Amino acid sequence: MTDALTLEETKFYEQNGYILHKKQLFSPEKLSKLTEIFEEQWASHGRRMNSEQDTPHFRDERLLPFLLDDNVLDLVQSIIGPNIGLWSSHFICKEPLIGRQTPWHEDSSYWNGRLTRFDKIITVWLAIDRSWKENGCMRVIPGTHMNGFSEYEDVSMGENIFNTQIKNIDESKAVYFELEPGECSLHDSRIIHGAPPNKSEFRRCGYTMRYFATDARVIPEVNEGHKIWLARGIDVDGRNQWENA
């Protein structure tokens, strides 16, 4: 594997539910191409990205070489093993000065019932722009991936990207994911995370690439129109419906 995590890094991830990969994930040329695709998408959607750009690879196959790149899959394999399904991707952009807060949440809570298990789902969050505290970088509460589903409450959509958030978070425990363009973080689908608003003059865009171990099954009855790819290895469950099958 070309860019696998070390044993120490893997243990850190298992204990904390995340890790920062402070290395360039792609070559400069490949990152430049991904950035070009993002800028094209951002412009075509009137610079509104969060809801409009969920699973952009369904519509733009130019993204598949990035999602199925060996450097990405080697990192993922370090955590969830050699049998890997591509679950989803998402361009996420917080505009300068007006980028809204991402409330505290668990990704798995929004996917509850759509897969048979959540213990081996991982997000690779690739920084397209510099992602820093000042422009609303992602933050997590370490270790919360072991806690099960949390209790949520309603919040205003005026200030938030979602209309719910997890109750009673001690923000003093938060770890901020500060990344330079081309670097990435990895986090467990069950970890509590979010992001402050972007009140700076600097845009903050990232590309999330999400994967699952294939001993889980994506339940077709509640995933109508959702596409998955067998990224590496075999379908351990044996009943998943792959695009490249």
Q: Is the pTM of this model over 0.85?
A: yes
As a whole number of angstroms, the distance between CA 175 and CA 186 comes to 13
* Eight-state DSSP code of residue 80: H
- Residue keyed to tokens 């070009």: 36
Main-chain dihedrals φ then ψ at residue 144, nearest 5 degrees: -80, -5
What are 15-35's pLDDT values in tens digits? 999 999 999 999 999 999 999
Domains observed in the chain: 7-232 (2.60.120.620)
Is 166 within 8 Å of 192 (Cβ atoms)?
yes
Digit-coded pLDDT (tens) for 46-91: 665 554 478 999 999 999 999 999 999 999 999 999 999 999 999 9
